[in-house]
Structure 1
Amino acid sequence: MLHLRPAEDDEAAGESLQLNRAAARDDHFLLQGLLSQERYRKCINQRSGWGVPGTPLRMAASKGHLRCLQLLLAHGAEVDSVDVKAQTPLFTAVCGRYLSCVLALLRAGANPNGSLRNNSSPVLTAAREGDAEILRQLLRHGAEVDARSKVMLWTCGVAVCSGPLYLAAIYGHLDCFRVLLLYGADPNYNCPEGQVGSRLAPARRTVLEMCLRHGCGVEFVRMLIEFGANVYLPTLIIEKSTKQNEALELLLRERSCPRSLVSQCRLSIRRHLKQVKRMQAIDSLDMPPRLLNYLKHEPMR
C-alpha cells in the first residue's frame, strides 16, 4: 500500500481545510472554484478542522448551507461519511433542523437511520427536538420508526429505553407523537426482552404508563388508545394526589368498553401494512380517498 509522505499529507490536510472553510462560510463560488481543481476534489471526503473534525459535506450540513451541500454532492462527496462521533451529515442537518439539507441528503441516498455506531439517530433527534416535518420526511424515506437509543434513561426509579414516542411525549411534541403513530410506531413500545437485567425486568414501563407518570396530558393518552395501545398493560398505582385524573378516567373508561368493529378493522389493516413495509407509502395505495383518510385516522369526507 502506498503511503503519503508527510509533506503531501500536510498539503492534503490544508486543501481539505480550505474546502471546509468555504463550506462553513457558505461561499458557494469559492467552493466551486476549488472543486474545479483535481487536487481539491481528491480531498473532498477528508476530515479536517478543530473540535470534531469532519468532511466539507458535514460542515455544510451542520450549518444548513444548501448550495454548498448540493455542490459537494455533485462532485462526489460521500453522503454517509461519519465524523469521530459517528455522526453522518444527515444527522447534523437534523440536529440543526435544516429541512432543505435533510431533503437533499435523503434524495442523494443518505441512510435515514444514520450510523449504527452512533448512540442516537436522526429519528430520535427529530422526535426530541419536535420537528414534525423533518420526522415525517425521515419516515417517508424508510427510517426505523421504533428506533432505540443505545443509552438507557433512568426515570421514576426504572430503566427506560428512550424511543421516539417516549421522547416526543415527555418533551410535549404532540405533532411528532402523531406522526410517529401514523407511520406505524408501536403504541405499546417498551424495553425489549433482554435489554435490561432480570433484576429490572419487572419494572419495565410502556409508553402509555410513562405518559401518565410524566403528566403528558390526556391528548397523548387518547392518541395511544386510538392507535391500539393495550389499555390493560399499565400497572400504574393510582394515587389520590395524581394530577392525571382526566387521563386516568379516560383509561378506565376504555378498559370497561370494547373497541368498535370499525376501530379493530383499521388497526388490523394498519398492522398488516407495517408487516409488509408499506406504511410509509400509505398515500400511494390504490384506494378511494375516503378509505385512505380512514386508515390515516383522518375525517372520512
Structure 2
Amino acid sequence: MNLMDITKIFSLLQPEKEEEDTNTGEKQALNQAVYDNDSHTLDQLLRQERYKRFINSRSGWGVPGTPLRLAASYGHLSCVQVLLAHGADVDSLDVKAQTPLFTAVSHGHLDCVRVLLEAGACPGGSIYNNCSPVLTAARDGAIAILQELLGHGAEPNVKAKLPVWASNIASCSGPLYLAAVYGHLDCFRLLLLYGADPDYNCTDKGLLARVPRPRTLLDICFHHNCAPEYIQLLIDFGANVYLPSLPLDQTSHDDKGVTLLIQARATPRSLLSQARLVIRRALRQTCQPQAIDQLEIPPVLISYLKHQT
C-alpha cells in the first residue's frame, strides 16, 4: 500500500460536510431499527427523504459503519433486504475499509452473504482492506460461504495485502494455506476445484521471488502434520511433487503422507490424470473452472474431471 492508497482510504471514509452539520437523530433512528431487527419500521423510515439521505452514512459505536454493515454484522436478513431495496451501497466501507459482505462472512451469516452477492457485492471485498472474504471463510472452515464466494467469481489464489518491504512466507500464503493449517479439508478441496494453485497458492511470481525460501503447499502440509488426504489432493490436482524437500526425520514409511509423495515421485502420472489436469487448466485460463458440466462428454468423464470418482 502506498501513500496514494492511504489518501484514497481517508477520502472514502470522511463524512460528507452536510452530514457533519446535521442532527444525528435520523441516523440513530435508522440504526435503532436495524438493531431491533425491525424491518417494517426501517422500511417506513426510508420512504421519507429526511431518513433516506443517511442510508449510506457511517455512524455508531465501536466500528462506525453504514446501516447495511450493521445489519450484515447481526445477520438481520430482512433489514439487509430492505436497505438494498432502498438503494443502499452494497460495497460501502466502514472505518476499517471492510464491506458489508466481509462483515457478514466474518460473522458467518450465510443468508446475508447470499443476498449481498446477488445484489452485486464484490466477492473479493475491498481493495483497500488487507484481508478478504475468501481468506476469512477458508480460515473459519465456512464451506457454504466459501462456495458462495467462489461461485460468484472470488479469486481462489487471493493473498493478504502486505507492503513490499514486509514480503515473507506469510505474504504469499493464500486460502489453501489457511484451510490446511486450520484443518478444513472440505474447504481445501473446494479451493482446488475452483483453481487454487496447488504449489504455492500464489500466482504473483514477483512476490515469490522476493521471499527468501518460499514453501510449497506440500511443505506446509508436512510441517503442520496434515492428514494424508491433503497430500493426496495436492498430488491429484497437479502439485509438483519434486519441489518440496523431505527432511530425513520425515522419510519414514510409517508416515502415510510421505509415502504418498515418494510413490508419486516414483510412478509416472497416468495419461488419464494428465488429460484431466490439462482440461482443468484450460478452463481455468478462460476463467471458467466450473464449465465442466457444459462439456459434451459422457457423465462418467464429467465426474472424473470434477474429482468425484
TM over 0.5: yes
| Equivalences, count | 288
Counterpart amino acid of 1:178? Answer: R
Q: Deviations over 1:227-275 (max 9, x none)?
A: 1111001023231698981111111111000100100000000000000
> Distance between the aligned counterparts of 2:201 and 2:174, measured in 1?
8
Q: Which residue of the partner structure matches residue 110 of structure 2?
A: 99
Is 1:134 matched up with 2:145? yes
> Distance between the aligned counterparts of 2:208 and 2:283, measured in 1?
30
> Distance between the aligned counterparts of 1:145 and 1:67, measured in 2?
30
What stretches of structure 1 of length at least 5 have no aligned partner?
153-157
Specify whether residues 62 and 286 from structure 1 end up closer, same or farther in structure 2 by C-alpha distance, changes over 3 A only: farther
8 Å contact 1:23–1:68 — kept in the other structure? yes
| Structure 1 counterpart of 2:45, from 14, 34, 43 | 34
Q: Which residue of the partner structure matches residue 87 of structure 1?
A: 98
Q: Which residue of the partner structure matches residue 200 of structure 2?
A: 189
RMSD: 2.2
Q: Which residue of the partner structure matches residue 223 of structure 1?
A: 233
8 Å contact 2:219–2:244 — kept in the other structure? yes
Q: Deviations over 1:155-186 (max 9, x none)?
A: xxx72323000000000000000100011111
| Structure 1 counterpart of 2:247, from 216, 237, 240 | 237
Q: Which piece of structure 1 moves more, 285-294 or 105-114? A: 285-294
Q: SS of 1:263's equivalent? A: helix
Matches for 1:85-164 after TM superposition, within 5 Å: 85-151=96-162, 159-160=169-170, 161-164=172-175
8 Å contact 1:149–1:163 — kept in the other structure? yes
What stretches of structure 2 of length at least 5 have no aligned partner?
1-15
Is 1:4 matched up with 2:18? yes
Q: Which residue of the partner structure matches residue 277 of structure 1?
A: 287
Counterpart amino acid of 1:4? Answer: E
Q: Which piece of structure 1 moves more, 275-284 or 61-70? A: 275-284
The runs of at least 4 aligned residues of structure 1 exceeding 6 Å deviation read 241-244
8 Å contact 1:139–1:280 — kept in the other structure? no
8 Å contact 1:217–1:244 — kept in the other structure? no
| Structure 2 counterpart of 1:260, from 270, 283, 306 | 270
> Distance between the aligned counterparts of 2:155 and 2:254, measured in 1?
31
Instruction: Give the share of equivalent positions with the same residue, in percent.
Output: 57
Q: Which residue of the partner structure matches residue 22 of structure 1?
A: 33
1:281 to partner: Cα distance? 3.8
